[in-house]
């Protein structure tokens, strides 16, 4: 084969991969949003078969040879080479698994998701427990096939954030604990902010009408984006011009759907903004979870919880809820949105206690795969750790171990990226605020100015560069966790009128 023939073969392979990926993405969204549940078994068995076909394509030995041969060939275009390198790495992780085992794991994940949903709806952990055990055992087995020095859990962590290990995460979380635990204690002991106005009755139809306006403000365009509803909000996409988000409306909590929407639109905007040359390639689909979460958390917290953001949007919200919010000032509302209080639900947690929710999950995952935490009674382990780390009593499993979807399909190693992403975004935001007047953009309805900055500096590249490279390119320095901690310390010290550490030292 000539080089051109090989490149054509590679293009054809990419196209075939992307066809199955598109199908699986659409079937996946459909399952989680609207598909009638009684049809699950029929659809899932066939979905698993199609995933197996994709698996065969991905692990085609002939293509792996071709990737190996070309991935470091300097005569090949650098973008193409980067894609080939990533595909090759991926294949090295999966080719040790047999197709039969892979398909069985996919089927299990689908059944396990259904069991999780049922268990959560009925608040009955026993419905989900046997599936969770099987999923854990399956992941132990499949990750065990890989070669190399990494421990089981390090392999999982690396899948979601290339290069991250327990050692690095331990350092990261220790830094957080060291400065945030005392801060959380101070905040908890300070004069509390009354945010009960956020938890009145908010008609869901009216919430949806406000959301339509908010989505427009966020530049989430219906030509390339669509928002639906699910039990657990998520974002999914088939290409840059097809990005779907979901949210969940709560009748007695006006902030939940809003903040989850802003979060998911952060993910969707990232994917939409990746250079369209990368459509259907790993350079758009393979962005690390930490980088992805950095953008969703940036949208949610560093933009969506600011006063400038609400200077524009609060009058709109008041228009829909005059009885509930007519007497609440902008300043009061923004304070309420930022209240910190140890709580049960990760997705509704404030920024300050959020990393503690992640730490709990990280510790549990680590223990599960390092053998120090048994699978038996994991719901009770959960409760103990919430008491220990956050001081809260978990009243039931629905608001405990069943709250998150991630473990149902075996996504262990994902959670830590939420905290890491939050930390990335502190550093990105600091740089963005140097370059443009973020607050002015937010308050004047020019959210697009933030999107443009993010597209230019981060989004367009997809995973053409890894997180370290992007951080250096954007900020001119490596990742530094202190941006995150300083931000939280500054924010909550002011919000709760605490004496800053520095002042104490004077």
Catalytic residues: 264
Question: Which residue in the set 130, 144, 182, 222 belongs to the binding site for a copy of itself (CB under 8 A)?
Answer: 222
Out of 7, 9, 27, 335, the only residue in the binding site for a copy of itself (CB under 8 A) is 27
Closest CA to 151 of 415, 479, 413: 413
33 contact partners, CB below 8 Å, separation of at least 6: 228, 229, 230, 246
11 is a contact residue toward a copy of itself (CB under 8 A): no
Closest CB 18 distance from a copy of itself, rounded Å: 6
Task: Indicate the residue among 34 and 500 with the shorter CB distance to a copy of itself.
Answer: 34
Among 3, 8, 11, 15, which residue interacts with a copy of itself (rule: CB under 8 A)?
15
Q: Return the residue of 46, 171, 201, 387 that touches a copy of itself, per CB under 8 A.
A: 46
Binding string, 259-298, against a copy of itself, x = CB under 8 A?
--------------------xx------------------
Q: Give the residue among 501, 185, 495, 486 at the shortest CA–CA distance from 339.
A: 495
**Closest approach of Cβ 243 to a copy of itself, in Å?**
7
CB of 46 to a copy of itself, least distance (A): 4
- What whole-number distance in Å separates Cα of residue 296 and Cα of residue 268? 8
Nearest-angstrom CA–CA distance, 156 and 68: 23
Interface with a copy of itself, residue 29, by CB under 8 A: yes
Place of tokens 């949610």: 300
| Residue closer to a copy of itself, measured from CB, 52 or 413 | 52
> How do 235-239 and 242-247 pair as beta strands?
antiparallel
Taken in order 298, 300, 301, 305, is the CA torsion positive or negative? positive
User: Which residues have a Cβ under 8 Å from the Cβ of 246 and sit 6 or more positions away?
Assistant: 32, 33, 227, 228, 229, 230, 233, 234, 235, 264
Position among 3, 8, 39, 396 found at the interface with a copy of itself (CB under 8 A): 39
- Residue 502 and residue 506: Cα distance in Å, rounded? 7
Of 27 and 250, the one with the shorter C-beta distance to a copy of itself is: 27
- Of 225-233, 325-333, 350-358, 370-378, the segment contacting a copy of itself by CB under 8 A is 225-233
* Candidate segments 136-144, 160-168, 239-247, 351-359, binder of a copy of itself by CB under 8 A: 239-247
Any contact of residue 243 with a copy of itself (CB under 8 A)? Answer: yes
Q: How far apart are CA 320 and CA 254, in angstroms?
A: 11
The least distance separating a copy of itself from the CB of residue 240, rounded to whole angstroms, comes to: 8
Query: Of 42 and 323, which CB lies nearer to a copy of itself in the complex structure?
Result: 42
Does position 392 interact with a copy of itself (CB under 8 A)? The reply is no
Among the residues of 200-281, which ranges form H helices?
A: 204-217, 254-273
Reported in sequence order, the residue ranges of 179-323 that DSSP labels E, i.e. its strands, are 225-229, 235-239, 242-247
Q: Which is nearer to a copy of itself, 43 or 81 (CB)?
A: 43
Indicate which single residue of 13, 18, 425, 489 sits in contact with a copy of itself (rule: CB under 8 A).
18
Number of Cβ within a 10 Å radius of residue 149: 5
- 236 bridge partner residues: 244
Tokens of 493: 């010290």
| 23 in contact with a copy of itself (CB under 8 A) | yes
Kindly state whether residue 462 participates in binding a copy of itself, applying the rule CB under 8 A: no
Give whichever of 54 and 360 is closer to a copy of itself, judged by the CB atom: 54
Helix or strand holding residue 275 (H, E)? none
Using rule CB under 8 A, residue 50 touches a copy of itself: yes
Nearer to a copy of itself, 117 or 401 (CB): 117
**Long-range Cβ contacts of 67-74 (<8 Å, 24+ apart):** 67/10, 67/91, 69/6, 70/6, 70/7, 70/10
Please report where in the chains the tokens 């009674």 appear, as a residue.
Answer: 377
Q: Report how far apart, in Å, the C-alpha atoms of 76 and of each of 4, 11, 71, 83, 90 are.
A: 10, 13, 8, 11, 20
Contacting a copy of itself within 395-414 (CB under 8 A): none
| Gap between the Cα atoms of 436 and 441, Å rounded | 8
Nearer to a copy of itself, 180 or 243 (CB): 243
The reply to whether 230 sits near a copy of itself by the rule CB under 8 A is no
108 belongs to the binding site for a copy of itself (CB under 8 A): no
Segment interacting with a copy of itself (CB under 8 A) among 241-249, 306-314, 345-353, 491-499 = 241-249
Give the footprint of a copy of itself on this chain (CB under 8 A): 15-16, 18-20, 22-23, 26-27, 29-30, 34-39, 42-43, 46-47, 49-50, 205, 222-226, 228, 238-239, 241-244, 279-280
């Amino acid at each position: 084969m000539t080089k051109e023939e090989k490149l054509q073969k590679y293009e054809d392979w990419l196209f075939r991969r992307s066809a199955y990926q598109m199908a699986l993405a659409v079937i996946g969204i459909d399952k989680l949003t609207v598909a009638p549940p009684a049809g699950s078994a029929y659809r899932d068995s066939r979905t698993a078969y199609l995933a197996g076909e994709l698996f065969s394509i991905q692990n085609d030995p002939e293509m792996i040879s071709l990737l190996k041969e070309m991935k470091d060939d300097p005569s090949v275009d650098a973008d193409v080479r980067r894609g080939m390198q990533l595909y090759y790495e991926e294949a090295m992780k999966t080719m040790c698994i047999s197709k039969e085992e892979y398909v069985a794991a996919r089927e299990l994940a689908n059944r396990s998701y259904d069991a999780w949903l049922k268990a959560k709806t009925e608040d009955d952990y026993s419905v989900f427990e046997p599936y969770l055990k099987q999923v854990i055992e399956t992941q132990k087995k499949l990750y065990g096939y890989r070669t190399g020095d990494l421990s089981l859990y390090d392999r999982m962590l690396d899948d979601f954030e290339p290069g991250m290990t327990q050692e690095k995460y331990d350092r990261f979380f220790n830094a957080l604990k060291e400065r945030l635990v005392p801060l959380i204690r101070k905040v908890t002991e300070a004069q509390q902010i009354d945010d009960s106005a956020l938890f009145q009755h908010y008609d869901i139809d009216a919430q949806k009408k406000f959301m339509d306006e908010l989505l427009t403000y966020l530049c989430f365009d219906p030509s390339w984006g669509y928002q639906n509803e699910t039990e657990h909000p998520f974002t999914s996409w088939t290409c840059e011009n097809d990005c779907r988000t979901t949210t969940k409306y709560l009748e007695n909590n006006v902030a939940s759907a809003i903040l989850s929407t802003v979060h998911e639109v952060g993910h969707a905007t990232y994917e939409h903004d990746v250079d369209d040359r990368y459509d259907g390639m790993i350079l758009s689909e393979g962005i690390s979870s930490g980088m992805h979460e950095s953008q969703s958390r940036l949208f949610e917290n560093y933009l969506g919880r600011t006063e400038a953001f609400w200077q524009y949007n609060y009058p709109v919200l008041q228009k829909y809820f005059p009885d509930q919010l007519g007497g609440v000032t902008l300043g009061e509302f923004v304070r309420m949105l930022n209240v910190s209080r140890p709580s049960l639900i990760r997705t509704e947690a404030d920024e300050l206690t959020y990393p503690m929710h992640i730490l709990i999950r990280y510790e549990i995952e680590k223990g599960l795969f390092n053998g120090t935490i048994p699978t038996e009674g994991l719901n009770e382990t959960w409760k103990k750790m919430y008491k220990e780390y956050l001081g809260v009593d978990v009243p039931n499993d629905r608001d405990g171990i069943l709250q998150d979807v991630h473990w149902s399909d075996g996504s262990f190693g994902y959670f830590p990226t939420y905290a890491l992403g939050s930390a990335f975004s502190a550093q990105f935001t600091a740089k963005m605020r140097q370059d443009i007047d973020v607050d002015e953009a937010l308050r004047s309805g020019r959210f697009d100015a933030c999107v443009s900055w993010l597209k230019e500096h981060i989004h367009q590249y997809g995973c053409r560069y890894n997180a370290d490279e992007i951080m250096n390119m954007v900020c001119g320095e490596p990742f530094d966790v202190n941006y995150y901690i300083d931000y939280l310390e500054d924010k909550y010290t002011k919000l709760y009128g605490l004496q800053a550490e520095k002042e104490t030292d004077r």
